[in-house]
């Protein structure tokens, strides 16, 4: 399996459980890994055989920037669902970090890995 990487998407959304966290949008940082076979695009040197990471990233950005979640786990799952169900990624690894969420730590976050089996009806499980 080959992997397309998108690193350090710096976005803002409503995230957190406490009232003060939900008043304003907070920074989140996303790293995405999409596992697939890049040989068709490599063999032809043509985007037609490739996975459109620009369209997928734009969809992720649109989701995150308008989202309101209590947990980074829920946000990460929603991002993975977009990659897997809407953009046909056979495998997605999503890392979501919330800078400044914990005193004395740079950030707090989660890493999840999902495949189409995790979204049998296109809905997060």
Whole-angstrom distance, CA of residue 45 vs CA of residue 34? 19
Q: What is the H or E stretch that residue 79 is in? A: helix 72-81
DSSP character at residue 85:
I
Taking the CA atoms of 61, 116, 125 and 4 in sequence, report the sign of the dihedral they define. Answer: negative
- Catalytic residue annotation: 98
Q: Single out the residue of 31, 24, 17, 13 nearest to residue 71, CA to CA.
A: 17
- Residue 42 — φ and ψ, nearest 5°? -65, -40
């Amino acid at each position: 399996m080959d992997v397309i990487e998108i690193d350090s998407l710096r976005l803002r959304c409503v995230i957190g459980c406490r009232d003060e966290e939900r008043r304003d949008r907070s920074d989140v940082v996303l790293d995405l890994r999409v596992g697939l076979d890049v040989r068709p695009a490599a063999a032809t040197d043509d985007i037609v055989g490739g996975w459109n990471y620009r369209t997928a990233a734009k969809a992720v950005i649109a989701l995150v920037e308008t989202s309101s979640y209590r947990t980074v786990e829920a946000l990460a799952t929603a991002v993975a669902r977009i990659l897997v169900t809407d953009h046909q990624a056979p495998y997605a690894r999503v890392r979501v970090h919330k800078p400044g969420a914990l005193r004395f730590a740079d950030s707090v976050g989660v890493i999840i890995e999902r495949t189409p089996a995790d979204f049998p009806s296109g809905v997060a499980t």
